[in-house]
A and B are shown apart, each in its own frame.
Chain A
Amino acid sequence: MPSFSLAALFQRSRRGRLLQENLTAYAFLAPAGILIFLFGIFPVAFAFFVSLHRWRRFPDAYIGLQNYEKALGNLGYILFFWLALGGLIAAAAASRRLLRALQQTEYKKGALAMLAGGAGGYVALLAIDWFFKLVPAIMLIPRQVRGQNTSLPLFMEKLGESFSQPAVQAAGALLPGALLALALLLWLSLWRFRSGGSAALVSYSAVATVMLIASLFLLQLTITETEAALAEARASGEALPIWSQLVFISGGIALIGIAYRIFQRGIRALDNRRFALMLLGGLALAVGGYLLMAEAPAALAAADDDLLHGFWVTLMYAAGTVPVQLAIGLLLAYLLFQPIRYRGFFRMVYFIPYITPFVATSIVFRIIFDAGRSAPANRLLAIAGIAPQRWILERNSIGELLGLPDFLAGPALALVVIMIYSTWTYIGYDAVIFLAGLGNIPGELYEAARIDGANGWRIFRHITLPLLSPTVFFLSLVAIIGTFQAFTQIWILRTGAVGSKVNTASVYIFDELQNSNRYGYASSMAFVLFALILLMTIFQNRVLGRRVFYG
């Protein structure tokens, strides 16, 4: 009997400690969390909201997915289908985990936790819905109080007006009750009838609910919008093969994915089976590739050419800067890591380009790469006996200048100048971080290798590089995300004569924002860019992340 009460006491105090730890942690996180919500998460949701509207400086009509259609043609709709599908898959995955966790928990307590989580997800979505009904009106308040002295009563009056709009009230009617019920459920499941897996159950079930409802909403939105687009096309007598494109393109991608998996298995399999698998994989690859090649361009036919061109420029820009920058940075770091004198001096100097403002250094680069004969870059060429180039004014691609065939055209020379500038800026940063990575490699490994008679290159290849792979991975991730977001470098080295030839997606989006004031359209394109960056990061994590050696 006494042992039982002791256990209960322990339980309670452990629980008390847990609660205290949780509350302290939330208090520690609160400032950062609030700010990140305000300036990191809410803006994304808001930008998505903007992208569904015709929106110049102020909100105009709701136009569904039209901005996305304008940006990507039919692929815009298809992307939203995939997004909805991805959400459903994520919901299914969460549900599977939920079920697995449920099996390990006491039935009644588990059901309670699941209910609480589901309610949490539902309430969260309810709150979001209410919030976005409220936001447009709130956002107009500064406009309404313009020219009048701002005072608390006036502001509160306007705020009250926004809250009492019928649409907002209707959306918020259920919210207080739902919040109360949620609080009760959470208390019951996480406190009163707590069991080991309760917390996990609550979170899985919340995620599953949010994902399910959100992706159903997305799906409904996409279907409505697609139907509307189809109806419009039918009215004007055109054919709009969105459905067939959806099926074929998705099929193509699925087949390529299957082929990839088959090849992966085939490598491990026995000979005969391996051959059959390879054949199957090859077939899947061919059909999938054919479907993609046939349908993807058609789906993109109505897309915004300038945006597609922007993505192409972005790709070239990334391909031209990231590897060069990493390779030189690694070389410098490796040399600096040798026992040499003045290491501190070199390290310091290499970092200087990174810390100098773009506005200042770009002036110098504009002078170095000026089109005139007396420009430093052209003087260097003259020493080598090469004709002067127009550098930052040159629209022609380096391929054209070298007389290569069209498919080897590559970036415009002006873009190359920008790449040089960008590389120059970041090499020092990379070198310093590589140097830090090199310092983390234990010296005994080198000793051992040297005793085994390995020479410099082999040590580098078999010890340094593998052990440095986390740093390489980190830097390449940062660099690729950076180049996809790159804006300032291009913006300030861009000349009128080169125009859109150097417009990366970011620059084009900013042009649309600032020059044409198309906020809604710019937001939708920015979202597409975001999706691309996210996809690439995931891909990089999956494919390259596996090869990273964590020692």
Chain B
Amino acid sequence: MKKRLIIVLAVLALGIGMAAAQDSADYEGVDPSGQTVAYWHQYSDDSTQANTMAALIEEFNSSNEYGITVEALHQGHYGTIEDLMNTAIISGELPNLVAGYANAVAGWANEGVVLDINLLLNSPTWGIAADEQALLNFDLLDVNQLDFAPFYGMRVAWANQNSLNLFYTNLDIVEQLGFERRVPQTLAEFEAISCAAGASDMYQGYPLDTGTSHFESFVAAHGGAIFDSDAGEYIFESDAVVATMDLFTRMLENNCAYLFAERYQNTGDFSIGITPFAAGSSAGIPFITWDAAEAEMTDEWVISAFPGADDVGATIQLFVPSQAILTASPEAEVATWLFVKYLAGKAPQLAWSGATGYFSIRNDIEVTEADFTEPRMPYQRFVEAQGILRDAGVSVYSSPGLPSYSAIRGLLPNTIAEVVNGDAPAADALAELNADAAELHEELDI
């Protein structure tokens, strides 16, 4: 009896899914006039990002020929948005456009609520023309194109910006500690300077984050990754991961690094001049600058790619914060897409990058200091950061866009903490994590 019930349910669900797919296949005759687009984003109220986005939305609302209205709503940080989406998917009370990274969006796509943007991107009526598409940086945008099962080339989200996980160095402290006044060139040099800082009276070692992104940046610096996309499996027992764990453990044991509790405390400590290094998103540059100014910290500090292991060059981790269009009526979907398309245009991109310091997704925008509009923002740094991203000598890493990655982000910090505290041997803890990851991968991704 139960089985039959399940079959009925499955058929029902399939039917809905197919109906949705059929709807979205044909957008040519659709009229998006008068639609309202609900947009959930993570930009804190009153921040430069939120204010700039509000201005762009206002312009779109007043200028678009269909009378489409975008209503933006700050919904807390990415974690809160993921929680909200969990319930929204169950309740059906979904927004039209929602901020999220590829992995989170992929999880939502698994539930059939995410629109394949390719359908609209290449639509003759609504899409972006080929010559215009040539101006977009598809190396970045394709982070959201998922080429594996069950997505098969679906473009689950669209980015209108990107940022980097950067390595920050306080040159004055490095020199003070008796080292050459430069950004460390290798991880060994980084470790040595951190240890010297930890041993000194004036400074602390390296503020070590137990978060997943930070860990991945160092795995990349060891020349590895946490997911092997060719084999289609997580590789937490690989050499680079083990080496990263060893580095962290050693640095904490020898007082070369310290853990911290509050979010952004690492860059906070860096900005008041008590640690030689920190790692953090390029979006944090203004906060470090402002905090340093308030604390009257006058040391010279620079940004760079992460120093690599001996045989690995400089590496950088790319963040591509994106937006997903969620399934709704074809009219609403087209209206949402028109807003996304508007944001990808040259003028909005320039305005956005110019105000916030995020990098553009367009190839035809080379942001120079002249483009920057907000007087308080430290633009020179952003130009530098952009240079790091475009430096051919720097290899770029990005996190796997898998639904399971969201769940693994919740598991990895505990494993890191367990290992660096010596509660469990690294090999055992990583083997357990790998098994859990494999289970989640099978459960969520395939």
Interface residues, chain A, with chain B CB atoms under 8 Å away: 57-59, 61-62, 133, 136-137, 140, 142-148, 165-167, 170, 366, 370-371, 390, 392-393, 395-396, 495-501, 511, 514-517
Contacts and interface: CB of A to CB of B under 8 A. Distances in A.
Could you say which of A57, A146, A500 has the most chain B C-beta atoms within 10 Å of its C-beta? A146
B71 interface: no
A144 B410 contact: no
A57 B410 contact: no
Contacts of B3: 62
A366 B89 contact: no
Contacts of A147: 92, 94, 327-329, 332
Contacts, number: 106
A143 B16 contact: yes
A516 B86 contact: no
19 contacts: A57-B89, A57-B90, A57-B111, A137-B8, A142-B91, A146-B92, A147-B92, A165-B5, A166-B4, A170-B1, A366-B261, A370-B261, A371-B258, A392-B261, A496-B413, A499-B414, A514-B83, A516-B410, A517-B444
A225 B118 CA distance: 46
Nearest to A147: B328
B128 interface: no
A133 B5 contact: yes
A144 B5 contact: no
Contacts of B261: 366, 370-371, 392-393, 495, 497
A146 B94 contact: yes
A167 B260 contact: no
Nearest to B89: A57
Nearest to B330: A147
Q: Which 9 A-B pairs have the closest CB atoms?
A: A499-B414, A146-B92, A515-B410, A496-B210, A497-B259, A496-B413, A142-B92, A499-B417, A62-B2
B122 to A, nearest CB: 23
Q: Tell me the dominant secondary structure on chain B's binding face.
A: helix
Contact of B9 (A136, A145, A390, A498): A136
B440 interface: yes
Contacts of B92: 142-143, 145-147
B4 A167 contact: yes
Interface of B: 1-6, 8-9, 12-13, 16, 83, 86, 89-92, 94, 107, 111, 113, 209-211, 258-262, 327-329, 332, 406-407, 410-411, 413-414, 417-418, 421, 423, 440, 444
B111 A167 contact: no
Could you say which of B4, B261, B407 has the most chain A C-beta atoms within 10 Å of its C-beta? B261
Contacts of B211: 496
Given A495-B261, A511-B410, A58 B111 contact: yes
Contacts of A500: 414, 418
Contact of B407 (A137, A142, A393, A516): A516
B5 A136 contact: yes
A517 B86 contact: yes
A70 to B, nearest CB: 11
Contacts of B413: 496-497, 499
B6 A395 contact: no
Contacts of B407: 515-517
Contacts of A496: 209-211, 413-414, 417
B262 A366 contact: yes
B62 to A, nearest CB: 27
Nearest to B20: A147
Contact of B90 (A58, A371, A495, A501): A58
A144 B262 CA distance: 42
Contacts of B6: 59, 61-62
A551 B5 CA distance: 58
Contacts of A143: 16, 90, 92
B421 A137 contact: no
B12 A167 contact: no
Nearest to B204: A372
B151 to A, nearest CB: 17
Nearest to B262: A366
Contacts of A170: 1
Contacts of A370: 261-262
A498 B209 CA distance: 12
Contact of B260 (A144, A146, A371): A371
Contacts of B209: 496
A143 B113 CA distance: 10
A61 B327 CA distance: 25
Nearest to A150: B92
A395 B421 contact: yes
Contacts of A390: 259
A27 B316 CA distance: 69
A371 B111 contact: no
Could you say which of A62, A144, A501, A517 has the most chain B C-beta atoms within 10 Å of its C-beta? A517
Given A142-B92, A167-B5, A392-B261, 8 more contacts: A59-B9, A147-B328, A393-B259, A395-B421, A496-B211, A499-B210, A499-B418, A501-B417
A57 B86 contact: yes
B9 to A, nearest CB: 6
A86 B90 CA distance: 36
Contacts of A515: 406-407, 410-411
B8 A144 contact: no
Contacts of B421: 395-396
Nearest to A390: B259
A148 B329 contact: yes
B328 A393 contact: no
B416 to A, nearest CB: 8
A499 B412 CA distance: 10
A144 B16 contact: yes
B54 to A, nearest CB: 27
B233 to A, nearest CB: 18
A167 B259 contact: no
B260 A393 contact: yes
Contacts of B89: 57
A427 to B, nearest CB: 25
A489 to B, nearest CB: 16
B57 to A, nearest CB: 23
Given A57-B89, A62-B2, A142-B92, A137 B417 contact: no
